[in-house]
Amino acid sequence: SAQTTTAIVVQWSRMALQNLQKKRKREESSSNSAGVDNKRKSSKSDSTTRKTTSPSDINALFCTLKKEQVEHQVALQSLMRALKCRPGDIGLAGIKDMKAITYQFCTLRNVDMKRAQRPIFDERVNLSNFVPVQNFLLDRGRLLGNQFEITLRNLRQMERLEEDDGPSSWKERAVPVRSSHLDTMVDRVAKHGFINYYGEQRVGDAGQTEFVGVRAFDV
């Protein structure tokens, strides 16, 4: 059977950088406000002074998360059980498809190497390539782009059989795809893009309507 593999790189660099700049401005504004409040409290009494966590106090592990045929939230639950951590301790820049083999960078806040290398009881989820980091945590949107490698197998295309009796008697049949047709379709995607549909590929089975509507904001 014919097998073709192609790679499509999808980037949202400009939008990602704009979101990152906005986030940093909000963090700076929040940090400045906290600093003013702390000064006011310390001027009243030393007993009312509250210590704040400095960015230099944040220790984390930077690693690679691999998951295979597993939904995003299910993978997070497996990690939390294995690492004995909270959802907020796991930093990810986005959600990966369920029906795929995916790799993405991940940060683990306040998780040491020994804990990070504990067995994960879900064989579909794996952590690797650990690097200790400071002052760096991933969160949603903190990425420059994604790269997809899509494998296409046993492709078919429709061929029209025209007969002398006119269009009403014409028939169609599925035939193996021609390489020239495939090249044309790939060029069209490269030049004009494609509609970014999502559904079971991203989140698995749809489930109840009210929950699907809410989840759409997280995808």
**DSSP line for 92-159:** ESS---SSSEEEEEEEEET--HHHHTSPPS-TTEEEEEEEEEES----TT--SEEEEEEEEES-EEEE
Catalytic residue among 46, 57, 97, 187: 97
Q: What single DSSP character describes residue 218? A: G
Percentages helix, strand, coil for the chain (3-state, rounded to 5) are 40, 30, 30
| 218 catalytic per annotation | no
Which is it for strands 59-68 and 156-161: parallel, antiparallel or unpaired? unpaired
**DSSP line for 128-144:** EEEEEEES----TT--S
Q: What single DSSP character describes residue 213? A: H
Q: Kindly list the distances between the CA atom of residue 185 and the CA atoms of 44, 123, 169, 204, in Å, as whole numbers in the listed order.
A: 71, 37, 28, 27
Q: Kindly list the distances between the CA atom of residue 57 and the CA atoms of 92, 93, 97, 139, 156, in Å, as whole numbers in the listed order.
A: 20, 22, 34, 18, 57
What is the C-alpha to C-alpha distance for residues 173 and 68, in angstroms, rounded to an integer?
A: 35
Give me the active site residues, please. 97
